[in-house]
Amino acid sequence: MYTNLVCFDDISQQNSNTIVVLIIYCVSGTFLTLLNKITVTLFPYANLLLIIQNTFAVVMLIFCSRYFRSTFGALPALNRTVLQLWMPLVFLFVLMLISSLSALIYVSVPTVIVMRNLTSLFVAFLEYMFLNHKTNRLSIFILLGMLGGAGLFAKHDFTFNVQGYIWLGVNIISTSVYQIYIKKVIHLAYFENIGSIGMSYYNNLLSLPVLGLIVCITGELGRLMVNFDLQHSQMILSISVILISSLLGFSLSISAFALNKLISATSMMVANNVNKFSVIVLSEILVKSTLDSIASIGAISVLFLGWLYSQTTTSTSKICFAILTITLIISAALIETKYIKTLRFDHDDYYKNFQPIMYNQTISYRYPMKAITSMKQRQGYDIYRAYLPRSSKAHRLTPQIEVRSVQDYPLPQNCRIRNASIWKTCDAHECQPYTGLINWDYPQKTIFGENTTEFINRILEIAWGTNPPSIDLYLRGGCHGIMEMKYLFESIELFWPRFLGSVIVVLDVGDEPILKYFLPQQPTHHYLVTFEHTPCLPGRVFNQYSYLNIDRHSSAEYIVTIDSDCAFHAPVTPDLIFRQEKIILPSSRSYQPDVWRRSLEAMMGAGMYDGHYMVTQPVTFARSTFSSFREWFYETKGICYEDHVAQLSTVHYQEFCWMCQVGSYLERGRAKKSDYDQYWYQHFDNESLEPMIRFAIHVPYEPFSSSAVQCREVICYEKSVNEIIRQGLCRAFGPSIFPVCMNNISFNYVNNVTFSYGQFEIQAANRSARIDALNQYLKRLARITMISLDD
């Protein structure tokens, strides 16, 4: 009887130990990936981060081996033979770690978890090639099913990024090779009794010199020293998160080693899958929600098939696989076709006979014009949430025209040349603008009788969600741009969200009488008009200088800048301005490479030209960037920006580019990390990157008539704007909303200017990528359109 009680106590103790270790394993595994995602955002020095984490692991292993030897045992010795045999594994181990962290910079946590499951596919292939390991037919089907599920997930991944998926590919390949190689090495006499603790010790210790060499090559340590500031709250937070992630990494290694001894291989597989599901769910809740219904189906299928792959010897595996396959195919097909019709492109002519997604859709219209419920906003926001940055709520203002008095600002206190003649105010010239009637030729009401402007704004309200960022649209205009501005403001009323902030118009003193000619008679946006005294600077230079002081007129988080001779052609949804919570900033090093270089380097110094940043209109900047640029200029040049402008040679006046200066500051000027990290740098010259969708055209340089090199004449200008608006509306919504779109409208013009600039002088990415990007934009727009109209 006493013996039975002792046995029962031993079993209870063992069960308790198993539960404790299992909890530690699950908590560590779940939160480590989430914390690494946060860590690489706060501390973007992947190799230094790995050095810290691996050093922590080595120290803890030595400590535990010395003081808890009965549990951990002695650490294996190192010698030359061990080093020669183990170093290939170390290089693969380092590549696994670097690629995993680098992927987390670009893609979401669920993406990393799902795609890593493809390692089983590559391992099976490598085992067949190098270990002559045969795989049964069911296993092959399951692996192909995992590949299909991963493809479905990637197709609907909100955070899809080419660079991120390349790093994931490197991670999958390196992990697969690591697993194959270790199966050979582990059976050698030198490593017969090494165990998981010994393997962890070898990997972490020997990886340190390799990572140290990589840090020296990449210059990470130098960049960290420049930006290191212990008093900065973000640096303190980074250190705290790194220490916690290091502790979690170590506890995961140790608990995994202990758990392998306490439970069966099948139970370990279940624990791993629970971990993966937990990571995805918590990432969606705590970090950022990035999965829609189709991506969720893809994720579930990959994870479930990964578990099923380990169970192929069981009798129920075939039945489970058949049921899952049928269920997933039906579910994916139903959801995929619920909102989206297949797009078809003629292979012989780019975009020929393009059919908008909304064509032939059955639409019900039961909601009142302004009835947008919280449910609808949540549905729409789910589509765009991966694009939007975290920010305070937009400053929603009453639609009106607010005219302010003159907004002159004194030269900064650090300027020395305060009496330069160029800063003297010149007399305002009497403005005698050309004005005329405009013949609009686009659908101004929907099939339901609703005004087009109200219809599009309801859709945009859903797309931007209940807590959008604050964004002002900014224009520096003048008397001679009245007709251009009339066209521009019409397109603003149609396509620009009215709830994000103000439309700010800055004019010269003396232009007050022209307001009545170009401003909307019944505005649906908040227009803020102000005036500046014009100094004795050539017009172009002062216009450019004025843009560099945008932040004096705006209080928004972000400012979208546009020229007066532009027009919008697409509903402005979050994906057109932001990507992965960052501002899209386009540039090109090949387009007009020598036009702006001399003037920029005369202002900013030799070698500072980074490319042309006027490759599209409009262009967005964070408001904080402008003050940071002026501070950087003073710190690096020793004089204020205005002093340098006062001494600038007149030969550079016509080649003055404010966007080029700000862009070069961000990419070449060692900008503060807080400034640099706000942008998604989109270099048009790199065809491997995702293309940027342009949502406005520069009318004079991109006319509807291909024979018109310049489009300044009223007839040409009006024709181009009408075409761009009409084609833009029909492409976005089709005859289901605007019946006039049935009249064989061609979309070649709007599709081409969506990706080309300056009469096809520059195009974003390659043709297939452009088609896919437009495809995805219209899919998202179609879904929120149907959310706004349907029950």
Residue spans per domain, the chain = 16-75+231-286, 374-765
Residue 116 in tokens: 């890593």
Identify residue 639 by its one-letter amino acid code. Answer: I
Q: Which of 700, 697, 757, 758 is nearest to 483 (CA)?
A: 700
- Beta carbons of 583 and 680 less than 8 angstroms apart: yes
Which pLDDT score is estimated for 20?
75
Which one has a higher pLDDT value, 261 or 152? 152
Question: Sign of torsion, CA 311 313 316 321?
Answer: positive
Q: With bands split at pLDDT 50, 70 and 90, how would you rate the model's confidence at 89?
A: confident
Residues 560 and 35: their CA atoms lie apart, in Å, by 33
- For the ranges 267-276, 296-305, 367-376, the maximum mean pLDDT occurs at 296-305
Round the CA-based radius of gyration of the chain to a whole number and report it. Answer: 30
User: 374-765 is classed in which CATH architecture?
Assistant: Alpha-Beta Complex (3.90)
Contacts of 493 (CB under 8 A, 6+ apart): 453, 520, 523, 524, 525
> Is pLDDT at 453 greater than 90 in this prediction?
yes
Range 87-93, long-range pairs (CB < 8 A, 24+ positions) = 87/206, 88/181, 89/178, 89/181, 89/182, 89/185, 89/202, 89/203, 90/202, 90/203, 90/206, 90/207, 90/210, 91/210, 92/174, 92/177, 92/178, 92/181, 93/178, 93/203, 93/207
Q: With bands split at pLDDT 50, 70 and 90, how would you rate the model's confidence at 348?
A: very low
Which pLDDT score is estimated for 360?
42
Does the predicted model carry a pTM greater than 0.75?
no
> Is pLDDT at 491 greater than 90 in this prediction?
yes
Which pLDDT score is estimated for 355?
44
Which pLDDT score is estimated for 626?
94
Q: What angle do CA 179, 185, 191 make, to 5 degrees?
A: 120
Q: With bands split at pLDDT 50, 70 and 90, how would you rate the model's confidence at 350?
A: very low
Residue 766 in 3-state DSSP? Answer: coil
Average pLDDT over residues 453-480: 89
Residues 750 and 385: their CA atoms lie apart, in Å, by 27
Q: With bands split at pLDDT 50, 70 and 90, how would you rate the model's confidence at 159?
A: low
- Beta carbons of 159 and 111 less than 8 angstroms apart: yes
Q: With bands split at pLDDT 50, 70 and 90, how would you rate the model's confidence at 287?
A: low
Residues 506 and 476: their CA atoms lie apart, in Å, by 5
Which one has a higher pLDDT value, 258 or 492? 492
Question: Distance from CA of residue 535 to its chain's centroid?
Answer: 40
> Is pLDDT at 215 greater than 80 in this prediction?
yes
Residues 556 and 624: their CA atoms lie apart, in Å, by 10
Which pLDDT score is estimated for 286?
64
**H-helix segments, 107-194:** 109-116, 119-130, 137-155, 162-185
Which pLDDT score is estimated for 345?
33
Which pLDDT score is estimated for 526?
92
> Is pLDDT at 131 greater than 70 in this prediction?
no
Percent of the chain clearing pLDDT 70 (strictly above):
72
Which pLDDT score is estimated for 17?
66
Residue 74 in tokens: 């002695």
Residue 442 in 3-state DSSP? Answer: coil
Which pLDDT score is estimated for 518?
81
Asked if the peptide bond before residue 520 counts as cis, ω within 30 degrees of 0, the response is: no
Question: Distance from CA of residue 322 to its chain's centroid?
Answer: 37
- Burial (CB < 10 A; 0-12, 13-18, 19+), residue 41, is middle
Residues 549 and 260: their CA atoms lie apart, in Å, by 63
Distance spanning both ends of the chain, measured CA to CA: 70
- Beta carbons of 484 and 564 less than 8 angstroms apart: yes
Q: What angle do CA 457, 551, 397 make, to 5 degrees?
A: 30
Q: With bands split at pLDDT 50, 70 and 90, how would you rate the model's confidence at 52?
A: confident
pLDDT, the chain, mean: 77
> Is pLDDT at 257 greater than 70 in this prediction?
no
Which pLDDT score is estimated for 363?
40
> pLDDT for 519-549, tens place per residue?
888 889 999 999 888 777 776 788 888 888 8
Which pLDDT score is estimated for 578?
94
Structural element, H or E, at residue 444: none
Q: With bands split at pLDDT 50, 70 and 90, how would you rate the model's confidence at 336?
A: low
Residue 508 in 3-state DSSP? Answer: strand
Alpha carbon distances (Å) from 136 to 273, 301, 309, 359: 23, 20, 11, 46
> pLDDT for 223-243, tens place per residue?
666 555 544 445 566 677 788
Which pLDDT score is estimated for 452?
94
Which pLDDT score is estimated for 351?
38
- For the ranges 296-300, 311-315, 470-474, the maximum mean pLDDT occurs at 470-474
Which pLDDT score is estimated for 381?
66
Which one has a higher pLDDT value, 367 or 656? 656
DSSP, res 391: -
Which pLDDT score is estimated for 160?
66
Question: Distance from CA of residue 125 to its chain's centroid?
Answer: 33
Residue 567 in 3-state DSSP? Answer: strand
Average pLDDT over residues 323-327: 64
Residue 534 in 3-state DSSP? Answer: coil
Which one has a higher pLDDT value, 375 or 66? 66
Q: With bands split at pLDDT 50, 70 and 90, how would you rate the model's confidence at 629?
A: very high
Contacts of 127 (CB under 8 A, 6+ apart): 133, 135, 180
